[in-house]
Amino acid sequence: MHFHFNLINTENHARAGEFSTPHGTILTPTFAPVGTLATVKTLTPAQLESTGANLILANTYHLFLRPGADLIAEMGGLHNFMHWDKPILTDSGGFQVFSLADMRKIDQDGVTFRSHIDGSKQRLTPEIAVQIQEKLGADIIMAFDECATPYDESYSLKAMERTHQWAVRCMNAKTREDQALFGIVQGGIFPELRKQSAEFISSVNFPGYAIGGLSVGETKVEMYQTIEIVNQILPAEKPRYLMGVGTPEDLIYGVQRGIDIFDCVLATRLARHAAALTNTGRLNLMNSKYARDPDPIEQGCSCYTCQTFSRAYIRHLIMAKETLSGTLISIHNIHMLQDLMRNIRQAILENRFKEFSQSYLSNYQYKPGVTADKILSF
Amino acid sequence: MHFHFNLINTENHARAGEFSTPHGTILTPTFAPVGTLATVKTLTPAQLESTGANLILANTYHLFLRPGADLIAEMGGLHNFMHWDKPILTDSGGFQVFSLADMRKIDQDGVTFRSHIDGSKQRLTPEIAVQIQEKLGADIIMAFDECATPYDESYSLKAMERTHQWAVRCMNAKTREDQALFGIVQGGIFPELRKQSAEFISSVNFPGYAIGGLSVGETKVEMYQTIEIVNQILPAEKPRYLMGVGTPEDLIYGVQRGIDIFDCVLATRLARHAAALTNTGRLNLMNSKYARDPDPIEQGCSCYTCQTFSRAYIRHLIMAKETLSGTLISIHNIHMLQDLMRNIRQAILENRFKEFSQSYLSNYQYKPGVTADKILSF
């Protein structure tokens, strides 16, 4: 067996576990940085490894269009191509394709769309999405799903039903034993649809399950309620992956509701726009108050950036439009989230996650003047 | 004495030496990568160190305008600000200011110019240029000189005379003992002016001498002849720095003519435009012939990039406009030039530089189909 999920401890709904893959064991809960085009933007694999990152995500849609799955297969697969020897997860391309809006046409069999790069006509079906992901060779691959806009109930129903049919087709199309195919629950923000979807997807024997269609415009409360509904149904003995979520507060709220795996572009996207994540909230390092600040981004942080550079230097790089600022802040932001996940996991293992999360959130400024624990009661 | 130049061996005009500075000894001949804005573009200091780089150059003009010399001084100087513990050289700002063309006005005392960033009125004089460089705190600082257009003899004469007066003023303005101020020889491509300038500048007791005003539009033959004329006059016991030169072939031709120190933006600028330096010529990695090429940029190269990534992967990053391509090629390009300088130095130490350079240049494609040894007879 290549894949085995071992739940080591739970505290209320929060879970600490380990998920073995052909490229090593993922300690859960875990946060996966995003390397859309076979690179976590601005970072070498060596820098990425220094952040403590383990699992990373790459995007099938983007790699399918450029450089193409055949080329990556020829180069020995994604791990070899980008030189990442730890676990990789690829999404199915569904989310990106459905984001193309009027550049795509959906039918029962799949989706025809135009490439955002050259306008060429392309097609994805559940079978093609699995085939591409088999060529890419990630450890965890995702079923081809349809992500509806959050508040459209009749479309959410249609998209969910298609997602269910496609999940079964993905399962049937899969041929590689060294990849774990995860099913995806859809259903928008509608509790009945989410229940139906969680039940159906759970009935297919996937080695892991994902919650899709969240963090796409719904409110925080709707997102957390949906996670709760779905996780009551998903089997406890399989890993649960919340797609596209990754603020510090959401990682804690997600773990509280039983999530094991997260991914998000936020850490690296913010970094390229001068914003640093810290354990007490975000810093906009472009702010002139940092111009002569000799402190690191975050006191006590052990990342390369905080061990080496002042806020003043990083702000100078930002003002001078030097891309090194993106690199340095990305290193910090990813490292900070990895540290947070390690601390969360340790707290669960020691049955003190409740205290940990309450203390963390009371110190975390969600927005200036608003602590994170005030936005929800839990 | 903070600064001592020790000539270990010479072979014809080529010299192998060592120049001690407060931040370590520079083994000469050496090539200094350029970190204009207190960063060698796209690289962390750790990555830069991995290339074998030792001396680096930063630009006074750019740092004076942004973030300002006072701020850098407040942050502990350039070494501390950018976290480079090895030797640093700053230019005087003269070259950049004179490149501003109609945005500057020269008088006997100095230059008034408008910032390329915000159009603000600024002034540099020999005294101010030294004062700024003392605040920045580099190991080697440069006299404020005037660089004329290469073919205008009457302007070259005027600029040279001003450069001489300003060299003396710089020497008088200098207060720090832990910085070596180098004088700069000007005089365009005119042998008589260059002789006059080399004689005058040599008469001022600088710890090192630079040749300015080359690689600014003159021919290769004019450049090499000028170096020969000047180096016949410059004192043998002081280091000689050829400013702004850095192709592999020019490093060899320069060393052949007695140069000890070089700097150039070429290695990193080419890297950000998809071009790799190799010991047999340049590669344009955007070329589709590299799309499925599993080889490293250069076989046998020990840099991180060549030890880790294929040309196919780097080309993919280029096509996808990922800035990591600039980082990876910069690492290779700088490493390649550092390796070349180490090999040149070793050859001089073993009295086989002539054979080394002949063999190197006969294998080096200056342009497709043209070997470097054909462009000059030497």
Answer whether B322 touches A (CB < 8 Å). yes
- Cα B3 from chain centre: 19
Give B-chain residues touching A329 at CB under 8 angstroms.
Answer: none
Which residues make Cβ contacts (< 8 Å) with residue B350, sequence separation at least 6? none
Q: N- to C-terminal Cα distance for chain A? A: 38
Answer whether A116 touches B (CB < 8 Å). no
Rounded to whole angstroms, the Cα distance separating B328 from A44 reads 8
Answer whether B49 touches A (CB < 8 Å). no
pLDDT averaged per 10 residues, chain B (length 378): 93 98 98 98 98 98 97 98 98 89 90 93 97 98 93 95 98 98 97 98 98 94 96 98 96 98 97 97 97 98 98 98 98 98 98 97 86 65
Which residues make Cβ contacts (< 8 Å) with residue B278, sequence separation at least 6? B297, B298, B336
Nearest to A39 among B292, B304, B322 (CB): B322
Q: Residue A33 pLDDT more than 90?
A: yes
Contact check, Cβ <8 Å, A319/B66: yes
pLDDT digits (tens, 9 = 90+) for A77-115: 999 999 999 999 999 998 888 888 788 999 999 999 999
Chain B: residue nearest A74 by CA? B292
Beta bridge partners of A4: A20
Chain A closest CA to B68's CA: distance in Å? Answer: 10
| pLDDT the model gives residue A378 | 42
Contact check, Cβ <8 Å, A304/B44: yes
Instruction: Indicate which of A304, A316, A321 best probes the interface with B, i.e. most B CBs within 10 Å of its own CB.
Output: A316
| Percentages (nearest 5) of helix, strand, coil residues in chain B | 45, 20, 35
| pLDDT the model gives residue A1 | 67
CA dist list (Å): B297 to A248, A284, B92:
40, 38, 36
Give B-chain residues touching A319 at CB under 8 angstroms.
Answer: 66-67
- Per-residue burial over B126-138, b if 16 or more Cβ lie within 10 Å, else e, is bbbbbbbbbbbbb
Rounded to whole angstroms, the Cα distance separating A56 from A33 reads 5
- Of A260, A263, A339, A373, which one is the catalytic site residue? A263
Mean pLDDT of A229-256: 97
pLDDT digits (tens, 9 = 90+) for A253-280: 999 999 999 999 999 999 999 999 999 9
Rounded to whole angstroms, the Cα distance separating A184 from A257 reads 17
- Per-residue burial over B52-82, b if 16 or more Cβ lie within 10 Å, else e, is bbbbbbbbbbbbbbebbbebbbbbebbbebb
Catalytic annotation present for A118:
no
| pLDDT the model gives residue B333 | 98
Full DSSP string of A70-136: HHHHHTTHHHHHHT--S-EEE--SHHHHHHTGGGEEE-SS-EEEE-TTT--EEEE-HHHHHHHHHHH
| pLDDT the model gives residue A130 | 98
Nearest to B37 among A309, A310, A322 (CB): A322
CA dist list (Å): A111 to A121, A123, A145, A167, B273:
11, 6, 11, 15, 37
Residue showing tokens 């830069």: B48
Rounded to whole angstroms, the Cα distance separating A315 from A161 reads 49
CA dist list (Å): A82 to A66, B315, B316:
14, 12, 10
Answer whether B289 touches A (CB < 8 Å). no
Rounded to whole angstroms, the Cα distance separating B148 from B184 reads 13
Rounded to whole angstroms, the Cα distance separating B274 from B285 reads 5
Chain B closest CA to A179's CA: distance in Å? Answer: 23
pLDDT digits (tens, 9 = 90+) for A272-311: 999 999 999 999 999 999 999 999 999 999 999 999 999 9
- Residue among A218, A214, A246, A216 at smallest CA distance from A231: A214
Beta bridge partners of A11: A14
Answer whether B326 touches A (CB < 8 Å). yes
Q: Note whether A327 and A47 are within 8 A (CB).
A: yes
- Of B145, B263, B339, B373, which one is the catalytic site residue? B263
Give B-chain residues touching A39 at CB under 8 angstroms.
Answer: 317, 320, 322, 324
Where residue A367 falls among pLDDT bands split at 50, 70, 90? Answer: confident
Residue A80: count of CB within 10 angstroms of its CB: 15
Contact check, Cβ <8 Å, A82/B313: yes
Full DSSP string of B201-270: HHHS--S-EEE-S-SSS--HHHHHHHHHHHHHHS-TTS-EEETT---HHHHHHHHHTT--EEEESHHHHH
Give B-chain residues touching A71 at CB under 8 angstroms.
Answer: 291-292, 312, 316
Contact check, Cβ <8 Å, B42/A323: yes
Which residues make Cβ contacts (< 8 Å) with residue A326, sequence separation at least 6? A41, A42, A268, A271, A272, B323
Mean pLDDT over the full length of chain A: 96
Residue A221: count of CB within 10 angstroms of its CB: 12
Answer whether B46 touches A (CB < 8 Å). yes
Q: Residue A317 pLDDT more than 80?
A: yes
| Interchain CB contacts (distance < 8 Å): A and B | 108
Of chain B residues 19-38, which have a CB less than 8 A from chain A? 37-38
Beta bridge partners of B240: B209
Instruction: Indicate which of B324, B328, B331, B335 best probes the interface with A, i.e. most A CBs within 10 Å of its own CB.
Output: B324
- Residue among B178, B245, B198 at smallest CA distance from B218: B245
Q: Note whether A253 and A354 are within 8 A (CB).
A: no
Rounded to whole angstroms, the Cα distance separating B19 from B208 reads 10
ipTM of predicted assembly, 2 dp: 0.96
Nearest to B81 among A62, A71, A313 (CB): A313
Percent of chain A past pLDDT 70, that is, above it, reads 98
Answer whether A42 touches B (CB < 8 Å). yes
Catalytic annotation present for A295:
no
Contact check, Cβ <8 Å, A46/B326: no
Rounded to whole angstroms, the Cα distance separating A311 from A291 reads 7
Give A-chain residues touching B316 at CB under 8 angstroms.
Answer: 37-38, 66-67, 71, 81
- Residue among A289, A294, A233, A237 at smallest CA distance from A260: A237
Q: Residue A64 pLDDT more than 60?
A: yes
B362-371, long-range: CB within 8 Å, 24+ apart, which pairs? Answer: B363/B279, B363/B280, B364/B248, B364/B249, B364/B279, B364/B280, B364/B281, B365/B280, B365/B281, B365/B282, B366/B249, B366/B281, B368/B281
| pLDDT the model gives residue B375 | 64
Chain A: residue nearest B306 by CA? A83
Parallel/antiparallel/unpaired status of strands A275-278 and A281-284: antiparallel
Rounded to whole angstroms, the Cα distance separating B337 from B52 reads 9
Inter-helix orientation angle B353-363/B248-256, to 10°: 150
Q: Note whether A354 and A360 are within 8 A (CB).
A: no
pLDDT digits (tens, 9 = 90+) for A105-152: 999 999 999 999 999 999 999 999 999 999 999 999 999 999 998 899
CA dist list (Å): A360 to A227, A247, B67:
21, 13, 36
Reduced 3-state DSSP string for A321-356 = CCCHHHHHHHHHHHHHHHHHHHHHHHHHHCCCHHHH
Residue showing tokens 């020829």: A74
Answer whether A304 touches B (CB < 8 Å). yes
Laid out side by side, the sheet with A121-124 consists of A104-106, A111-114, A121-124
pTM: 0.97
